[in-house]
C-alpha cells in the first residue's frame, strides 16, 4: 500500500524533473547526448523535439493542448508553476503517449 502511494507520487515528479533539466527521452536529448536516434527533429517535422516544443508548439498535439489549456500558458508556468499546473503538464504528457 505504501509502495503504491510512493509510485503514484514519484512518476509525475520524475517527469517534471526530466523536463526541467533536459535529460529526458525526447529526440533532442537522445540525439545530441546519447546518439541513439538519427535526428533531434520531432516527428511533426516542425522543430526539434524538446521540452519547449512538445507542450507549447507541436502540431501533433495541438488538440490535446487546447483541451488541457484552452488559453495559452507560458512554458514557465507549465514547468515551474503551482502544483495544479505541474499536474496538468504531466497529465498532458500522459495523453501524448510520450515517455519522457
47 CB-near residues (< 8 Å, 6+ apart): 41, 53, 57, 58
Beta strands in 1-100 (DSSP E): none
Supply the range of the domain harboring residue 16: 2-96
Q: What domain count does the chain have? A: 1
Rounded-to-integer distance, Cα 84 and Cα 78, Å: 9
> Does this model's pTM top 0.75?
yes
Q: What is the mean pLDDT of residues 80-97?
A: 97
Q: Write out pLDDT tens, residues 42-76.
A: 999 999 999 999 999 999 999 999 999 999 999 99
Amino acid at each position: 500500500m505504501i509502495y503504491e502511494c510512493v509510485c503514484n507520487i514519484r512518476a509525475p515528479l520524475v517527469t517534471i524533473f526530466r523536463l526541467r533539466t533536459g535529460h529526458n527521452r525526447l529526440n533532442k536529448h537522445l540525439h545530441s547526448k546519447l546518439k541513439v536516434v538519427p535526428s533531434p527533429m520531432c516527428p511533426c517535422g516542425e522543430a526539434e523535439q524538446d521540452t519547449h516544443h512538445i507542450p507549447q508548439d507541436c502540431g501533433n498535439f495541438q488538440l490535446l493542448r487546447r483541451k488541457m489549456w484552452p488559453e495559452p500558458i507560458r512554458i514557465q508556468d507549465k514547468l515551474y508553476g503551482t502544483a495544479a499546473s505541474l499536474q496538468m503538464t504531466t497529465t498532458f504528457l500522459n495523453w501524448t503517449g510520450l515517455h519522457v
